[in-house]
Amino acid sequence: MNFIAALKHRWQQADSLVCVGLDPEPSKFPARFAGDEDAVFHFCRDIVDATAEQVCCFKPQIAHFAALGAESALTRLVAHIHAHHPGIPVILDSKRGDIGSTARHYADEAFVRHDADAVTVNPYLGRDSVQPFLDHADKGVVVLCRTSNPGAGDLQDLMVEGRPLYQHVAETVARDWNGNGNCALVVGATWPGQLREVRAIVGDAIPFLVPGVGAQGGDAAAVVTNARNAEGSGLIVSSSRAVLYASSSDDYAEAAAKAARDLRETLNAHRR
């Protein structure tokens, strides 16, 4: 099953638009992990197992693993998800974008080394920098469009031929880059008006990965109201810190499950 098909299946099977972001920060782990040489894997595995029932996908952030020298933990975590929670796709959040020869290696990093089902990419070097990812027709390519960070507008809102640049990105992906039907767009929860505009540009078929709900202040109800497709889905609403660190005590897994379940219920209340 390719990424888009697996995602659609999870939207229906789990009745969920929730994506749990896996951004390990050992300083925030419960005290029980002190002295555990494999704490990154063990903590993330526990969060995955506790929240799997509530999610449409998981999204590990590669920098959080790489900075800790924990790439092996990342590879084992993705393998754990595939083995123990089959059918739940994994998006590797790496925001890659480079010239073609380097991009091919980045694609292999995501899809071969880590066996991710999708990867986030930066479109600003143009089509050739994204093509090696697009060529993996069974994998998802999640293109940055209108991001959730405060400085997003510095470049993404620049007017080009009468429209902001992010709208050109959305149109280009939908019209020219999605030949394999494997593209999605990153559109931040902190900009509900832009979510609505981008949905109008690309139509119902392209999913949105929506970061920024929870710790970044994005409103879950506004996300769904402005960006759901005609079927009441089309969204991958990501929450990381609010789920991962819902508790710093021994009930961390149970607290994470509750946070994911609460978000799922909030989103579902506005889907139809």
Tell me the pLDDT of the chain (272 aa) as tens digits: 899 999 999 999 999 999 999 999 999 999 999 999 999 999 999 999 999 999 999 999 999 999 999 999 999 999 999 999 999 999 999 999 999 899 999 999 999 999 999 999 999 999 999 999 999 999 999 999 999 888 999 999 999 999 999 999 999 999 999 999 999 999 998 888 899 999 999 999 999 999 977 655 578 889 999 999 999 999 999 999 999 999 999 999 999 999 999 999 999 999 87
- Rg for the chain (alpha carbons), in Å? 18
Query: Any catalytic annotation for residue 95?
Result: yes
CB count, 10 Å around CB of 40? 25
Long-range contacts of 1-4 (CB under 8 A, 24+ apart): 1/87, 2/137, 2/138, 2/139, 2/182, 3/89, 3/117, 3/118, 3/138, 3/139, 3/140, 3/182, 4/140, 4/181, 4/182, 4/184, 4/207
pTM of the model as a whole: 0.96
Strands 235-239 and 18-22: parallel
Two structure tokens written together for 180: 């394999």
Contact (Cβ atoms closer than 8 angstroms) between residue 94 and residue 120: yes
Instruction: Spell out the domain ranges in the chain.
Output: 3-268
Catalytic residue among 8, 28, 59, 95: 95
Report the alpha-carbon distance of residue 166 to residue 144 in Å, rounded: 9
Q: Are 30 and 249 in contact (CB under 8 A)?
A: yes
Domain 3-268 has CATH 3.40.50.2300: no
